[in-house]
Amino acid sequence: MITTRQFKASDGLVLSCVDYGGEGLPPMLLVHGGAAHARWWDFVGPAFTDRYHVLALDQRGHGESPWTKEWTYGTRQYVADLVAVIDGWDLGRPVLVGHSMGGHTVMAYTVDHSEKLRAMIVIDSPASYPQEAVEALRKIGEKPSRPYETLEDAIANFRTNPPQNMAKPEILQYVARLSFRRDEQGKWGHKMDRRTLIREPISVTKSLSRITCPALYIRAGSSVMALGVTQKIAASIPECRHTHVPDSFHHVMIDNPTGLIGVMNEFLNQLS
């Protein structure tokens, strides 16, 4: 049974967190990517509750977590939130898992906090963002969100970013249905604060050697990043394996959840 918990962020913001179960077991914390939310993990998280207490965080400005009054959506804020959440709970050292922007945040966190983790898993995430990508996202983030008359209209217009995906229609519709909320005027809009697309990323390319916990880098089968780039990220981390999930574009957890569970299990089975 899926429940919801709340954790206090670095600046007092109260973040929403999905709890898939497994209380009393070692924790696993799942961190979604940009423009996504915690429920993207619904097809992956429950598979690990026999061995882990599995939680999925809604990062600030995403999902059920609140928007901020002023813009505070840089990597430094996301990392500070992880520090506050993990230091503030009484669950112990987690396996920390992040996808895309969430994986970038996870790497930036782990550079300075490896000792607080059992292990780190990063899924199709950059160690640094090209300036042209930052500018392209900024342009999107500065545009107003489109309102929809009905939830069905919103779902019909839902698109992943990047748009390529191999998700089954029912999975894509499931994620889309949980991505919108109704406003005071009765219109349906995205739960994500579009200002989260205005990024202020921190490059961790030169800091990856400071990650000392066991690590796994998972590349999408058809990744948006070159193979050499993801291999270099993994090679820069002392105890890191590099693998891939076939039959997936960037959004691995909805494109091929079974494949992702499989490669994660291979790694987790080797942890002491």
Contact 209, 152 (CB under 8 A): no
Q: What is the pLDDT of residue 15?
A: 98
Beta partners for residue 218, in sequence order: 123, 243
Q: What is the CATH number of domain 3-127+200-268?
A: 3.40.50.1820
- 31-85, pLDDT tens digit by residue? 999 999 999 999 999 999 999 999 999 999 999 999 999 999 999 999 999 999 9
Contact 55, 18 (CB under 8 A): yes
Cα separation, 97 vs 95, in Å, equals 6
Cα separation, 215 vs 41, in Å, equals 20
- 145-168, pLDDT tens digit by residue? 899 999 999 999 999 999 999 999
Contact 38, 63 (CB under 8 A): yes
Contact 34, 104 (CB under 8 A): no
pTM comes to 0.98
Average pLDDT (14-24) is 98
- 101-122, pLDDT tens digit by residue? 999 999 999 999 999 999 999 9
Cα separation, 29 vs 18, in Å, equals 10
